[in-house]
Structure 1
């Protein structure tokens, strides 16, 4: 007589198992790198749900889009966006970042029409790091890139449009592009640099600009209200070129269930904010913040490092 338990067990597609494994790996890395546990639990809950699903997530997404994924138990918009990224590109930037494997060259080379050599040329010529940066740069077309003529530019933009459209559709009901207040970002920057200097943070070994494979890059996960933050020193080509790898701090932010954003905090070199930490692109807000909190200026100046 057949085992009824075995008959009733759902057959989980291999792709679902792999996606669940990636979510679990992300949760493990968050935990090992000091996350407060909120996201760890969320990603593990989602992984358990996916690992029991008999319906392929690829089919759910193709027939119902992001809404079909969000309708699953334990899967919110941010996790749905991660699943969509893995389904459509075979990669997940947030996981690669925590593992130190994320490089703009590899990201750009994943676009049809861009090989490894052209990807390196794009990074060196345009000083960009994300697909959104690449799309904006190609639309502007102000800096000529050897190897990209009008036809190839059009073809690459078409692929980028399709890929980024999927991600943007997954984020349509999210927080609408809001960013954390500069006070929150500056506090996170201050805490990160203090803990990195004291050696209190886990370190990862970035693949980029690290021929010895040394685990030198401190990483911090923290939560402020509904905002989840991942903070690292910049490991960009420009930061290395200008010797700012211990000054420029990149903050990835995500609200309770929205898309991920990114900003960079640097020491201002000129003008009325010289010597102060500022969020790039939000200098006026930083100026207003310091004007409202003059007592914090001296403290921040004393902690600002000039490499």
Structure 2
């Protein structure tokens, strides 16, 4: 039963609308919990989302009012709603949905959100998502600042500067964007490679749940294995890439996309089998090739050339013949 605490008709109507919004958010959290359970995620995470959904649904005050008056800390102070889920609730209020929910269903919707930004239409938004796999404003801003956005076809320096200015203006009023920390370079390559290894091993063992992606899947097949895993409390989701580019290059069972979906620290990486260069035949994190060379040196996958040859590492012949082609880590 909904109890309206205001005698003012306008405020009462706003409260009713806000409480309906609470229920809509609670339903999104329930869906996340159900999907995590189906996908064999950590049971603690499943219970946490279910508990947060019930708390949100039973609140006597709209969560929008709580954030407006108390900020994110007001949500975090509520029972069962920690920092991570509070940030997801804020995201839902800000953009109308929780991107994590789309991701768990194999339905990346980031490109539709980016298309609402000034200077980024549907076509450019699609190219950005296809080439960089960014999912949030923080990740898009990071790509604009570190030069990755310039690598998107059709984007010149002036256009990137305009997008960067738009994102800087947006972030001034966007507390979520300011709090978010992109982890593209912060997470060690070793950790991403280990997640890639675990995912591919579990795919081969047939131990992962499979989802039915809505894009590039005309027969509506449940073919896409999804994995949830943790490293020292950091939550990750891994799945094969289902982008148009992955399909065009027959890489839907090679390219592995790894998402970190914590509240304050998130990121997205794509691990592929390199087709050229010093790392040909090796699994690499796209965009972090130099770090990958260091990774393989550390794991003794490189050897030095014989005397009289240029002093740089190369792939061992045995590795190329026996394991490199299968993308197994050293």
Q: TM-score if structure 1 supplies the norm length?
A: 0.78
Quote the offset at 1:300 in angstroms: 5.5
Q: What is the alpha-carbon distance in structure 2 between the residues aligned to residue 108 and residue 287 of structure 1?
A: 33
Q: Cα deviation per residue 1:68-100 (whole Å; 9 max; x = unaligned)?
A: 222222222221211111001111111011122
* Cα distance change of structure 1 residues 302 and 271 upon mapping to structure 2, 3 Å threshold: closer
- Which of these residues, 49, 56, 60, is aligned with residue 54 of structure 1? 60
Tell whether the 8 Å contact from 1:80 to 1:170 is kept in structure 2 after alignment: no
Matched, 1:42 2:51: no
User: Deviation of residue 57 (structure 1)?
Assistant: 0.4
- The correspondence for 2:256, drawn from 249, 262, 270, is 249
1:203 lines up with 2:210 in the alignment? yes
Query: Which residue does the alignment assign to 2:13?
Result: none
Any stretches of 5+ residues in structure 1 without a counterpart? none
CA shift digits 1:271-306 (9 cap, x unpaired): 22221111123222222222222279948626428x
Q: Are 2:78 and 1:72 equivalent residues in the alignment?
A: yes
Alignment-derived partner of residue 225 in structure 1: 232
8 Å Cα contact 1:229-1:252 kept in structure 2: yes
CA contact (8 A) 2:184 2:268 kept: no
Q: Give the CA deviation at 1:47.
A: 1.7
Give the aligned partner of residue 276 of structure 2: 270
Say which SS state the counterpart of residue 260 (structure 1) adopts: strand
Kindly provide the CA deviation profile for residues 163-200 of structure 1, in whole angstroms up to 9, marking residues without a partner as x.
783322343xx798874322222121112122223432
Q: Distance in 2 between matches of 1:133 and 1:170?
A: 12
Deviations 1:210-248 (A, max 9, x none): 222222211111122212110011112222232222211
User: Per the alignment, do residues 48 and 240 of structure 1 end up closer, same or farther by CA in structure 2, a change over 3 Å counting?
Assistant: same
Cα distance 1:215–1:160, how it changes in 2: closer, same or farther (>3 A)? farther
Q: Which moved more, 1:126-135 or 1:206-215?
A: 126-135
Any conservation in 1 of the 2:183–2:267 contact (CA below 8 Å)?
no
**Which among 285, 290, 293 is matched to residue 284 of structure 1?**
290
Is 1:92 the counterpart of 2:115 in the alignment? no
Partner of residue 238 from structure 1, selected from 226, 245, 248: 245
2:174 — aligned with what?
165
Matched, 1:304 2:304: no
Ranked by relative contact order (alpha carbons within 8 Å, sequence separation 6 or more), the top structure is 1
Between 161-170 and 264-273, the greater mean CA deviation after superposition = 161-170
Query: Match of 2:308?
Result: none
Number of residue-to-residue matches in the alignment: 291
> What secondary structure does 1:273 align onto?
coil
Q: Report if the CA contact (8 A) 1:180-1:227 is conserved.
A: no
> Normalised by the size of structure 2, how large is the TM-score?
0.73
Cα deviation, residue 106, structure 1:
2.8
| Structure 2 unpaired stretches of 5+ | 4-15, 303-315
Name whichever of 137-146 and 260-269 sits farther off.
137-146
Tell me the CA shift for residue 109 of structure 1.
4.1
Q: Report which of the two structures shows the higher radius of gyration computed on alpha carbons.
A: 2
* Pairwise CA distance, 1:158: 3.8
Do the aligned partners of 2:33 and 2:46 also contact (CA within 8 Å) in 1? Answer: yes
Instruction: Measure the CA separation in 2 of the matches of 1:66 and 1:300.
Output: 49
